[in-house]
Structures are given as C-alpha cells and as structure tokens.
A and B are shown apart, each in its own frame.
Chain A
Amino acid sequence: MKTLLSGNEAIARGAYEYGCVFATAYPGTPSTEILENIAKYKEIKSQWAPNEKVAVEVAIGAAMAGARSLCAMKHVGVNVAADPLMSFTFMEVKGGFVLVSADDPGMHSSQNEQDNRNYAKFAKMPVLDPCDSDEAKQFVGEAFNISETFHTPVMVRTTTRTSHGKGLVKLGEPIERKVSGFEKNFEKMVVLPMNARKLRVYAEERLRKLETFAENTNLNFEEPGEGRVGFITSGIAHVHLKEVLPTAPILKIGMPYPLPINKIRDFVSRFDRVIVVEELDPFIEEQILAAGISVEGKNLIPGIWELNPEIIRDVLEKENIISKKERHESQKSDAIPRPPVFCPGCPHLGIFHALKKAKAKIITGDIGCYTLAAIPPFNAMDTCVCMGASIGNAIGIEKATGSGKGIAAVIGDSTFTHSGLNGLVDAIMNNSHITIVISDNSITAMTGGQPDPRTGWDLHHRENKQMDFEIVARAMGAEHVFSVDPTDIAPTFEVVKRELEADHLSVIISQAPCVLYPKKVKRPKFFTFLDNCTACTMCSRINCQAISRSDELTDKGRNKWQINVDLCTGCGLCIQMCKFDAIRPVSGREE
C-alpha cells in the first residue's frame, strides 16, 4: 500500500522500518516533525535534546552501545553539533548512526543559507540526498546499512521541499531492533592523540572503500533518455528537472559524497554536454571538475535560493534544450504586504512594550518568535545572530563601549537552555552589567510547540522536572534576579526600567504561557465599546494583531479602534492601556 507522507514523516517511518533503536533531536524548521513522528513509534526510544550538540553526543552514545541511532536537526543545528561530529567521524562506530540535516534553501525560516553536504566532505562521511518522500524513507535504511558496513556516521540531507513536501510512499515491514551492548575499545573510542593519529589514517582508508562502494551502489543510477545533453542531478533538483523535461537522460546521484567518479566519467563521455543540476552550492560539480571531467552547472543554474521547475525551465529554454512553453505572463498584482506578526495576546508583546517604553538603548536579540520584534511595528531588536547569541553580543557591546546600562539581551526559554546559559556564565565571569531578559513562554513555540526544560513534560508528555530559571541564575552567581508577568503592564515596566538604569547585572524572567502551545489559551475575551473610544491610539501601541482601525469615526473624523473578537485571546494588555472604559469583557456585553 502507498500512503501520503511528508519527507519528515517518511524519515520517521524509515527509522521505524529499518531498526532504529534510539532517536533524538532539537527542534528547528524544517526538521522538527522528524522526531515528532518518530515518537509515534513506541518501539523507538526517542527524546528531545536541549541542543544539537547534546543530541549528537547522546546519539553517539547509543551507537557506541551498539544500537542504530538517529539524530535530526536543521542545517544551522549541525554548526552547533560540529564539535562532537568532527571527532566522531574519525572513530569506528558499532551501531548505525544517521545524522539528518534539513537544509533551508531560500531561508523560509532560517537566519542563513548553507549547504550541509559540505559538512559531509569536511567530516569525511558519506551523505545521501533524497529527492522525494519515498526516497527519504529508503535512504534511512541505506544510511544505516552503509554506517554499519563501513563503520561510519552517515548524513541524510533534506531540504525544505523534501522535508515538508508530501508524496506517496510504499510502506514495508519493520526489521528487528537490536542492541549489541557497550564494549570497551580504548583504541577506537578514546580520541587521545595516540589513538586519533591512527584513526585519522583509518578515516582515509574508509573513504577509499566508500569510493568503490559509490561506483556500485544503486543509490546512483542512470535514467536513459533522449537527446545529446545529459544531466547529473541530486535531491529535489532531480524531480524539478523531470517535471520540465521528463525524457532527459540523467545520472541521478543519491550519494553526493563520495562520488562515483568512474561512473560519471563514462556518463559524461556519451553526451555533447552535461549539466549538473543541484540546489545551492556546486558541491557535485566541483568534485567532478576536480577529477578533470568537463561539466557545466552553476554557470547556468543559480547557486543561491531554492530551485524550482521554473528556474530550470528558463535555463533549458535559453540554452535551446527545450522549446519555449506558452506561459501565462500576468502581472503580479499590487497586494498590500502582510509581514509575519506576533499572535494575538502573545506574552512577548508585553515585555517588548515595556522595553520600548523604558527606552532600552540597545536590545540584542536571539532566535525565536520574539525575533519578530525586530521588524515593524515594534522595531525593538537591534541584533540577531544565532541561537544564544543575544547575551554574548550584549556583553561585547558593553565591554567595547564601556557601559552596560540600558543594554538588554532578550532570549527565550528554549534558546536560553539551548546555549544562552553559557552566555550568562560569561556575564558573571566578566562582571557584566547588562540586563538579561528571559522571555519565558515555557515552550519552543516557533517550531510548533515542542517541550523544553521549562515545560514540565517531555516528548512523550511524561512529567519531568521544570527548570527554575530564578534558582539557576542565582546559583550561577546573578544577584539581581526578578520574575515578572508581562501581561501585567505596570509592574513589568517598573522592573524593566529600574534594572535597565541600574549599574549591575540583572536577570529578568518574564513568564507567561504561549497562547497557542501546548494548547490554545481560553480566557474571557474583550471587545471595544465604540461609544467610549476617543481614537487616542493607546491600545494600538500593544501591537496586537486583534486590534485594528474601525470604520467608525470620532467627531474629529479619526478612526476609532476595534478588537476582532474572533482573534482576541483575552490577555488583557489592551484594557490596561485604555483610559476611557472603551475596552470591556465580552461576557458583560449583553447588559
């Protein structure tokens, strides 16, 4: 039977069918649903990690214990995990180890664009690049087999469209799950220099074996076609090309590293010209060119952003490889912009309102929903680099300029436990005087509501210990630690203003639950009693998307403001702003 699965669901299914024993991940678009779906298979032990480095370390442990283990993350997550990964690839692994890296070409929900196939070459491990959901599932099995045959970690690399796109997948029966147990092996598992030097040579020998494997595996296969132009494809680029030119002769590369150079040389020799069609970097192309084989690629196909059939069609038409398709060339209409915004009643609204009102001089930011504060209407975040960077950035600005007064670092709860804790250590070690604001909604919200150390339960909704940030901060040495409820405007403002002006390190924990996760909050809603509205605009300063201009005008001809009751989540921020009794609970509306 074939069933409709996303690439991420298919990878989870692959883990189930191909004997995966243990899986872990840190959430990150577009990878998040892999572990969420693995969690549905009770046969696999699965858990969230606080960050990608820990995820890889835990998964390595499981592989060391002789279990097939999988660990998933978004592309930038591999940067965090690079330290254990780069040493682990020199070791001799017992259990199969699969690292899933979900890249985000076009940066739909990411801070940068990077092609993580490069990591495979850098770390000297094979990488598989599926083109659709069906391959995504199969490649997990192939990856485990390669991992165990060659004693190497294997990367499975997806991109946003393979991860989130859905397609038909043929399901199979699961194989047996085995754990052979941990066996001590000083030479293979302790990378002291005396061992690491031998392992360094071993890693090279392993690569030579993998090169031979690449020539024979059916991961790389030829699709015969028509014409004098041949194509070499990998990943999602393959299906885009097939869409445009179904009869193209293609050498499809399922394993972009190491490459089957002989197979490629033979393929290229049979065509007038060969074009490598790959998304992002010229990863395959450069390896082929380095082998002295002449191909084209990035001279035609763009090396940035997401590929799509249209881009490939334009190239093939321009190169006279296909005839021009009649296309409807209509003008893009001038629709008004709809930038991403905070949810109605989001607790981040309250803390950013306070920071703005308190006139914070510099606000360093981090990765999460709250990064939306950087754009209009808030314009209340001045930097954003990567997970956990806000605290370090603020300290650096303080040290360079000579004062920490008025400098706030804003970080979410999941980001704080991901890598913000280390920033706080730095602040204490170096006697920093910045204000750290942990905007704690007790969930990893931007990726769709995954539990973190503040949530109180784990991936399987089993209760666990809720980390207490106040105790943590104090135990680390912070003396001025305050908790505020950001939906309570006046006291929040008072604390924020006082601490921004104080010449010492402060940690403000701004705690209120996310309005969506783990479940939508249900609170009494509010409506605008328009008769009382004076169009003073105070309520609009909360920047809640449920509040907008109404068509009703004041005597002076100004638009009154209204609450969209369907959107309102009853946070009560706006009622605290209104001085004219124009915002009232819906429950009292009938009277």
Chain B
Amino acid sequence: MSAGTNSRAAIWIVNGLLIGGAVLTLLPLLWMLSVSFMQPGEASHYPPPLLPAKATLANYRDLFERGGMGGYLLNSLLIAGTVTVLSLAFNLSAGYAFAKLRFAGRDRLFQLVLAALLIPLQIAMIPLFLLMKWLHLVNSYGGVIAPALATALGIYLVRQYARSIPDDLIEAARIDGAGEWTIFLSIVLPLLKPMIATLAVLTFLASWNDFMWPLIVLSDQARQTAPVGLASLAVSREHVQDYEFMMAGSVVTVLPVLLLFLVLQRQYLQGLLLGSVKG
C-alpha cells in the first residue's frame, strides 16, 4: 500500500463525512423552506414529499393575514434593534472606562462585573417580573429592553479589546485639552469599530432569539415577539396540524437572523471565541 492511495482514500473519507454532516445540519432547514411552499395538507402524506408539487405562497399570506405574524416580526425588530443600539452605547462606554480610565474602585468593580458573568439569568427572572410589575413595565417593550441594556459579557469584550489602544493617543488628546467624552467619541470609537460590529451582531441575534423572558413579561398578543408568537401558534389547537403554515412561520422567524449571520459571520465567530475564553 503506497502513501498515495492511502491519502486518496483519506481525502474521500474526510470530505465524505463533512458533506454528510453538512447535509444533516442543513436538511431540517431546507425541509422547512420546502414545506412552507406546499399546499395545506400536502406534507401529511406517506412517503413525506420533499418538494412542493405546486409551490404556493398561501401559507405566508395566511400567516400575515390570520396569524398576526407581521406584528410579531415588527415587535422583534423594534426590540432587538433598540436593545442593540442602546446596549452598544452602555457597554462600549463602560468597557472603555474599565480599560483606560482611572477611578477609585475600578478593579474591584470589574471583578464584580466578571462575577456577574456567572449568574444565570433565570434566577433573577421571578423578582425581575415583580420589579417590572412595580415599574408598570409588564406587557411593554420596556420590560424586555431594560434588563438587556447592559451585559457583563459586552463590558468584558469591550474592555479586552480597548486595552490594546495606545495610551499615548489618549494622553496626547488630553494635553490638547479635549474632554474625556470628546476623546471617547472622536478617537476611541473609530478604533473600536471591529468590536462594535462583533458586539452588534451578537446582541441582535441574542435579543431576537430570546424566548423565556419575553414569554414571561409580554402577555398581550399585540406586544409579543416572533419567537413568543410562533410558540403560541405552535401550541394552539387550531394550528398544531398545519405543517405548511407553521413552517412558513419558522421561515420568517429564522431567516432574518440566519441572513444577518451569513453577512457578518466573521465578526460573529470572533465574538464567540473571545467570549468563550473568559473561563
């Protein structure tokens, strides 16, 4: 057996396994897309059809006209968009200050932020609900947005990144008489651009996909997000057998985040790696 045939077999095995794996991960998503274009009832046949016999947009029309999906998507967009923009402002300024500004108790406070990384959010949810009730934020966008405005992970990521900014740059601007916020906005922010993109895509996806807290705090249908609305359609007796209708619902819920990920994949994966080394 020569080395040549050996490695040719290895090439086939490695790539065959990779293709097999990719098919297994993508198949459910492709099947979702295909079924969403089928006529109502078409998927409930044996053997299960893989492609629609006659593609239709009826499920999507139904979804927006009767299922109220348009409203859910708008709510999601509004909440995830607001959370992304505002939490960027909060996390960027705090992360930068922890990296570059001096103030009493800075290091002790940062230790606390790191400790907050370990707190599971579900512990906080029940008192948080009572707090929101007291603040009259139950059933409002504010109830979902407010707790997400700052995250320990975001502050940590910005701080790690901002530490690489040369002190001389900041010091020189100070000597020129620039205020701290001017320095931050005109010198530091442009340097943080890669981190801003990373944090934006991480935050938007996390906020869009969030389920448990929006489920708890948004009881009124008119305010619910796409995942919460989709879940209530999925468990309702009316739609449980409507494969095609529900698949259309999954498509419109998943597609925005999937596309955003495809466009900003590099930034997203970078954030994932930086966030995971926190240990």
On whether the two chains bind one another, the answer is no
Interface residues of B (CB under 8 A from A): none
